[in-house]
Every structure is written in C-alpha cells, then in structure tokens.
Amino acid sequence: MDATADVFGSFEFLKLKSYSPPSWASHLHPLPTHFFSLGHLPTPIHRWNLPNLPRNTQLWLKRDDLSGMQLSGNKVRKLEFLMADAVAQGADCVITIGGIQSNHCRATAVAARYLNLDSYLILRTSKVNVDKDPGLTGNLLVERLVGAHVDLVSKEEYAKIGSVALTEMLKKKLLREGRKPYVIPVGGSNSIGAWGYIEAIREIEKQVVSESGSVGIDDIVVACGSGGTIAGLSVASLLSKLKAKVHAYCVCDTPDYFYDFTQGLLDGIQAGVSARDIVSILDAKGNGYAMSTSDELKFIKDVATATGVILDPVYSGKAAYAMMKDMTDNPGKWEGRKVLFIHTGGLLGMYDKVDQLTPLAGNWRQMELDESVPRLDGIGKMF
C-alpha cells in the first residue's frame, strides 16, 4: 500500500459502499446492494424553541439542511442510492427534471459531477422565460458552475407532456448520440430513492432512542413535494423502534394525490402497509407551488430572527408555517408531545425571493464616523 492510500484510506466521502439494511427493514424487497457516501451524516438534532408553542410541547430540529454545501438538503440521501444504481447500470450521464429552482436538480448535478457523470436537467419555467438565459440565481448558479446541461420547458409544455415523457424524450436523444443515460424521476422519488429516508430513520433511531430503549420523540413533521421522503420516513418509523407519527405538509398537488403516490412507492418495496394508516398528509400549498404569501415569508424571517434557523420558501418554510398554524388551532393535538421537525434544506431557493424579502430584511445604515478618531492600523495597509 502506498503512503497516500494509507493516509487517505479511511475517508468515506464519495466512496461506493456495499449496503446492508437495518434488521427491521430486511424483509423489504428489492433491497439496494450499494450506495455512495454523499451526505455529511449523521446530521445534528437540536432543540428548536419556536415562539408560541403549545404548553409542554418540545420541538426538536433535524438538520438535514446541513447534509452538505452544494449537496445540501434531503435529496442527498436519495441520491446515495440512486447514483449507486446509475453506476451499476453503466450510466455515463444522468437526466432529471424539476422546477426552475429545483433543489433536487441542483443536488443531482453536483452528485453527478463528483462521480464523474454528466448531468442533463430539464427545468420548468414560465412561458415568457423559456427561450431566455435562465441566469444564475440560487440553484442555477451551482448547476451551471458544475457544467450541467440545462433544457428549459414551459409550465404549459410540462403540464401537457408530463415529466416521464419529457425525460424519455431526452433519454432517446442521448442514446442516439451514443450516451448511456440514467433517468432519475422528479425529486428522486421512486422506490430506490425512498431508501435514503429509511436510512435516515436508522440514523434518527440512534440519536433519540436511549440504551434503555425509551424513545425521545412522538411525532415527525416534514415537508412533502414529491413523496419520496415521506414514503421512507413513514414505513421506517413504523418498523423501527421509533413508532413516531409522521405528519407531512404537502406544498403542491393534494393530500389525496400524495396518499396514492406514496402507496405506489410503498408497494414498490413490498412494504405491505397502507399509506393512509402510517402517514398523515396535510395541505400547506398556500398560493401554489414555489409561490410565497407575504405571511409565509414574514414567518420565515421571524423564525430566523428568533432562532437563527433559516427555512426555505418552497418546502420547510411552508411546512413549519402550517405546523405552527395547526399548533395554534389545535393545541390539544400537540400538548405534551415531543416533536421532531426535519429541515429538508433549500436555502438556495431563498435567493429567488429577494424582491419579496427586501421589505422584511434587517436594518442597515451608513456608519456614523467620528472625525477625530485616530487610525490604529499600521501605515500602508489601507484595506
């Protein structure tokens, strides 16, 4: 063994590793065989003292927003399994699809680059912007710096054709060009991606179950946008020691849509459970997907000012806003409970809201200078 291998051999990041499931999940099928270590895991859990919690409600925060920098948020956990599958299938590039500020597309572009695969992103934007340079705001900055290929489609085209046919169309084109593409669905939400949040429950179990077996949480609260996160969380919470009740706040479509979609993912791993029995899905869509009300943004600003935690406008901000509304309207449901909110990331999406955020931003002023103040730095170091 050479000296470099000796020194660096123990680092796990970006390595392909063989996978063995938690014992309580070993009956699920199919079981992944490998995963890439992509996330900075375990992510921390800490107390989150939001103002106006119901009496004796303890709120904790699982910081999946800290799962990485460019590779931040919940999508990293899914990509650990999806990327391993892509490589196992001999892919030389990945295709995925989402909204113009998709965190999933950004995470996929970065993960692909790290693993030496090209990425092709189909991004949905407004009709007026579909033929214009999409710029470098938020997630686009990262995607474009890492060299993702971006195809824009209008919302109307997306609604008409659908994500499956759009990705298939691009796949066929790339196959004709001699490439070996691997398609990752919207949000990385399929039965393979769901394993990322089965693993997250193993991680949480280690963090909150004491040696005597007493469990530190009663409820898990999370945003839902494409369903993969809640599919993994809810089945694994049931099977593990946690048995925490999972509350999902959906930010697009409807709860009925997500019960059906989640059921499909659960059937895809032969979980043998009913989605409606194991997760409660509530609406938090507000004005619509990726559209923020001024109340939601004010809430995000107030939470940041009160606790230092920055939520995101599209997912965790709406979920936390709706959770607090429910806690206010139905305090009896939450009193005395220990609640774990999963912060799924999305900070880069805030850059897309700067116009709406400007009136809420903190104070600034030109510094008042006292003419008589003597210079204390050494001469010659002007800046």
- Cβ-based nearer residue to ligand PLP, 94 or 223: 223
- Cβ-based nearer residue to ligand PLP, 102 or 125: 102
State how far the Cα of 282 lies from the Cα of 287, in Å rounded to an integer. 15
- Cβ-based nearer residue to ligand PLP, 120 or 315: 315
Q: How far is the CB of 226 from ligand PLP (least distance, A)?
A: 3
- Cβ-based nearer residue to ligand PLP, 68 or 227: 227
181-240 binders of ligand PLP (CB under 6 A): 187, 189, 223-229
State how far the Cα of 337 lies from the Cα of 328, in Å rounded to an integer. 14
Could you give the C-alpha distances from 323 to 135, 302, 332, 334, in angstroms and in order? Answer: 34, 15, 13, 10
Interface map 120-139 toward ligand PLP (x if CB under 6 A): --------------------
Peptide bond into 42 cis (omega under 30): yes
Q: How far is the CB of 353 from ligand PLP (least distance, A)?
A: 14
Structure token digits, residue 125: 């934007």
Q: How far is the CB of 56 from ligand PLP (least distance, A)?
A: 28
- Cβ-based nearer residue to ligand PLP, 174 or 220: 220
Structure token digits, residue 140: 């686009």
Residue 102 annotated to the active site: yes
| Active-site residue identified among 18, 67, 72, 102 | 102
Contact with ligand PLP (CB under 6 A) among 43, 96, 101, 103: 103
> How many chain residues touch ligand PLP (CB under 6 A)?
20
Backbone φ and ψ for 178, nearest 5 degrees, come out as: 85, 10
313-352 binders of ligand PLP (CB under 6 A): 315-316, 344-346
Q: Which among 220, 185, 278, 226 has a CA at the least distance from the CA of 64? A: 220
Instruction: List, in sequence order, the alpha helices (H) in 269-293.
Output: 275-278
Instruction: Give the interface with ligand PLP as residue ranges (CB under 6 A).
Output: 73-75, 103-104, 187, 189, 223-229, 312, 315-316, 344-346
- Which residues are annotated as catalytic? 102
